[in-house]
Amino acid sequence: MSSPIKDKDFDMVSTLYHASQGAHLCSQYSRDAESNSDQDAKAFFDRVASQYSDIAQEAKRLLRDKL
Residue at 27 is within a domain: yes
Residue at 1 is within a domain: yes
6 vs 51 pLDDT, higher one:
51
Half-sphere exposure at residue 9, Cβ-oriented, CA atoms within 13 angstroms: 5
Range of the domain at 17: 1-34
Residue at 21 is within a domain: yes
Distance CA 23, CA 62 (A): 19
Number of domains in the chain: 1
Distance CA 30, CA 51 (A): 14
Residue at 25 is within a domain: yes
40-59 pLDDT per residue, tens:
999 999 999 999 999 999 99
- Report pLDDT for 5: 64
Residue at 62 is within a domain: no
DSSP of the chain, one letter per residue?
A: ---SS--HHHHHHHHHHHHHHHHHHHHHHHHHHHHTT-HHHHHHHHHHHHHHHHHHHHHHHHHHHH-
